[in-house]
Structure 1
Amino acid sequence: MEIKSLHTHVDIVTRTGGGKVIPKAAYNARDRLRDNRYGKLEDYSKIDDLVFSKIFLPKHVPKKFSDREYLWNSVEEIEKSKNSQLARNLLFALPRELSEEDRINLISEFIEENFTSKGMIADCNIHNKKASDNQEQPHAHILLTLREMDREGNWKPKCRKEYILDEKGEKIKLKSGNYKSRKVNLNDWNEPDKAKEWRENFSKKANEYLAKNNIDKRIDSRTFEEQGREELPQVHLGTASYQMEKKGIQAERGNQNRKIIALNTELKKLKEEMAEISSWILSLVTMVKGLLKGFSKEKQEEYNLTPDLFDVYSYLETYYNIQKELSKNLSYDSRMRKEQFDSKKYMHTLSYMSRNNLKTILDIQGKKEEVTTRLKENKGKIADCNKQMKNIETLIKQAKIMKEHKTVYDRYKGADNSIFSKIAGASKEEYYNSHKADIDNYIRAKSILKKLSGSEKIEIKKWEQAKRALQTDIDHLMFNQKFIKEEISQIKHIKYVVDEVNKNFGIDINMEIEIAYKKAIARGEKPSVKMAIEEFQKQIKKEDQQKAWTKEHSKNKGTKSKETER
């Protein structure tokens, strides 16, 4: 059964970062809405990927709030502060495998169970644009209100003030004359674990629909890290990059994702190969342990102290001797090519084993574990570099936004209201209202920059240099990945050699154990190995004799036939 990770996004539309709820609602609904607060018409009605749109109301809320423009203008009106939180914005990817009707039913049930039943108003819109693989990309945008509402349609407070009391149960007076207090939320909608709860509930609901439709796929709400998955997460394309990719223009983020996809594919393949090798080693060791039960305790202890079993050099020599015998049946040119190829492979494997001091299967097991660790560490370093790269790209983007709006912001911030009209020909408030988008974009970019870098200083050259250094590091790590891949390939070849000798040429494991205990013959000359070669050579010789006899017999028969005809 295929298990897919759930793709979601949760954030808050807040005025602190220049956020506005009307443009967000209009974009989600592909609608045309009037923003009363800012006197602007937001129009996204020309985008044609909308497949479902509905405002879900709790049962007690007046029906007039099902009008999108009325609802969100009401929210803008009730929120007075310049740093007010206006709405919660969520995105859920919907299963491609479900029908459109099932997707709508899925998201509707999820909203009613998790949001409207708790008192939230939910504005839901489903988009279904084509993804980069030219397949459907259905996803639901949900805007949630942050205040509860009474039956008359009045917004309730988000929180209440609670006085902090001393040991005697009395209010604590501050030097300012006010009493010490704190804000207490009136509901649990903002609790930190809510997003996780919603992810889990959505996944359960989606899996119910997948199971009901007999679809062999399930959704896991856990993050890659929580699942213990080792894939590198892809970067978010964003609208600009998506539009470029859609037109066939390769965007930088698109190129990053293509590299991540290719690396994830390779990591998955290498991981499967290492798991196969681990299973093979385990099966050999299990086989030996089973056979050891037939020996005395003293021999078992001797084996445990000096595990001479499965001498890889013996297997290697046997395998290539057999290949040499096989090549005798080929034409001259084919034999030369095969012997050249086998000789090169043989020397390459011997060199690898010698460099890494690999002699027995147990040595191979240790090497496999070392390579697995290196593979994991290399992947972790690549992931860390990609994360740093993403942060730097965000810093550069926000710095450019700040530079673009710096003049307007500096003019607004630099003068007090008494002299502002002389400079700008308007009051400070009027200037802000007419340049609000530029000022808010500057403030938001400045906030993001400080959060990521710990400073408000713009250092684009330094960041570009760091970005180039990170790309160099990634290139080196990818180059290192090739060496790891080669080592895995070499270990796989050793596995193949041992399997061929053991399975196809009847090497007796019991005999290997006996020889290991007796230590009668030097390493690489075990009777079991020699016997296998001798038996094979006898078989080849016998076949050659039979071919020669058949050829001679056919020749003699032909001669006799001619004589008879005469």
Structure 2
Amino acid sequence: MWRKAWADISNSYLERAGSTERIDHRSNAERGIDEIPTVHMGVAACQMEKKGIATEKGELNRAIRKSNRLIKEIRAQIGNLKEWIAGLLAAWETSPRKQQPPKSPNLANLLMKYLGVQREKSRKYSQSWQHQHAADELKTISQAANYLAEHGISTLDELDASLSSVSDEAFSIREGMKAAEQRMKELQKLIENGENYLQYKPIHAELKKLKNGWTNKRDKYEEAHRAELTLWNAASRYLHANLTDTKTLPISKWKQEYADIKEQRDTDYTKLKATRAEVAELQKIRKCVDIALKAEQPEQTQSRTKRHDIDR
């Protein structure tokens, strides 16, 4: 409820200022945005970042944004490939029987067909260019063939199944990262408030001594330490709301857990990058298959591929 009220107030100021921007109080999940939300920086962290001083919150937000960009890229590429395969299979199933073998197109044959097409195209160029071009194409075909062999893929159907597996793995990693980022946020708040609580506890204790008399002295002391007491009170409220025991604050334990989760998150990010590289390899195979099918079925496949190129 407080988020909505704060958003309404902010939007009112934006409207009066003539800005078209608006603040949405809903979470990413509530808005249907499947991304890891960033951390609220706060005034102190923002000021430090502006001065070029890296903060823990700033580092976490940069890592979250990198993860979101990578996840978005992988999701888009996988969706693009799945749509392409579905289109090819649908066209294959509806093609005349006399042109349709019993199984979906054999990818190894299509790769060899692609190599033949490229060699034929290169004949109009110089011998030196042909040799270099042939070497580049052989490298492309070799990488594609190795990928297909390593993953036991020989047909479009099997490529589709493999792509689904890659997709499931990427989204599984992503879910783990979301849980890790959420826990890191919680630990950051616990650590920050725990340190503030312990650091300013003596100041609060001194104020309590002045409560039962010395009113003028107490007021002066409170005014002189207003910032520290504000931080202590905020920390006290947060810790009491989120912990069952505030007598002992295991800050070193929280910091170690944070470091362990960060290490695992970095490992998961590396796995996601490997997934992106795998999808990029599938995109190369797609290019080879498209060119081979154009040559194999000129009229039918060219019109279909043009439609896919426009969609991309």
User: TM tier, shorter chain?
Assistant: 0.7 to 0.9
Q: How does 1:23-422 map to 2 (within 5 A)?
A: 90-92=6-8, 94=11, 103-104=15-16, 223-291=27-95, 308-410=103-205
Offset, 1:508 = 8.1
Structure possessing the higher radius of gyration over alpha carbons? 1
Contact 2:70 2:272 in 1 (8 A): no
Q: 1:477 aligns with which of 254, 257, 268?
A: 268
Offset, 1:500 = 0.8
Contact 1:278 1:365 in 2 (8 A): yes
Match of 2:212 in 1: 427
Structure 2 CA distance for aligned equivalents of residues 355 and 506 of structure 1:
29
Match of 1:490 in 2: 281
Query: Which blocks of at least 5 consecutive residues in structure 2 are unaligned?
Result: 302-312
User: Which structure has greater helix proportion?
Assistant: 2
Change (3 A) 1:355 1:429: farther
Offset, 1:365 = 0.7
Question: Residues 167-220 of structure 1, C-alpha deviation per residue, up to 9 Å, x if partnerless?
Answer: xxxxxxxxxxxxxxxxxxxxxxxxxxxxxxxx6xxxxxxxxxxxxxxxxxxxxx
Contact 1:389 1:467 in 2 (8 A): yes
- Structure showing greater relative contact order (alpha-carbon pairs closer than 8 Å, 6 or more residues apart): 2
Contact 1:310 1:361 in 2 (8 A): yes
Percent of pairs with identical residues: 19
Match of 1:446 in 2: 236
Question: Residues 112-134 of structure 1, C-alpha deviation per residue, up to 9 Å, x if partnerless?
Answer: xxxxxxxxxxxxxx7x9xxxxxx
Match of 2:310 in 1: none
Question: Residues 34-64 of structure 1, C-alpha deviation per residue, up to 9 Å, x if partnerless?
Answer: xxxxxxxxxxxxxxxxxxxxxxxxxxxxxxx
Letter matched to residue 90 of structure 1: W
Q: 1:463 aligns with which of 254, 266, 272?
A: 254
Contact 1:237 1:253 in 2 (8 A): yes
Letter matched to residue 455 of structure 1: D
Match of 1:224, SS?
Answer: coil
Question: Residues 363-398 of structure 1, C-alpha deviation per residue, up to 9 Å, x if partnerless?
Answer: 111111111111212222222211111111111111
Offset, 1:263 = 2.8
Contact 2:170 2:275 in 1 (8 A): yes
Change (3 A) 1:442 1:432: farther
Letter matched to residue 387 of structure 1: Q
Change (3 A) 1:468 1:369: same
Letter matched to residue 291 of structure 2: E
Offset, 1:358 = 0.4
Structure 2 CA distance for aligned equivalents of residues 458 and 378 of structure 1:
32
Superposition CA RMSD, Å: 3.5
Change (3 A) 1:91 1:378: same
Structure 2 CA distance for aligned equivalents of residues 357 and 267 of structure 1:
26
Structure 1-normalised TM-score? Answer: 0.46
Change (3 A) 1:234 1:245: same
Match of 1:225, SS?
Answer: coil
Structure 2-normalised TM-score? Answer: 0.79
Match of 1:226, SS?
Answer: coil
Structure 1 CA distance for aligned equivalents of residues 271 and 121 of structure 2:
37
Structure 2 CA distance for aligned equivalents of residues 442 and 226 of structure 1:
33
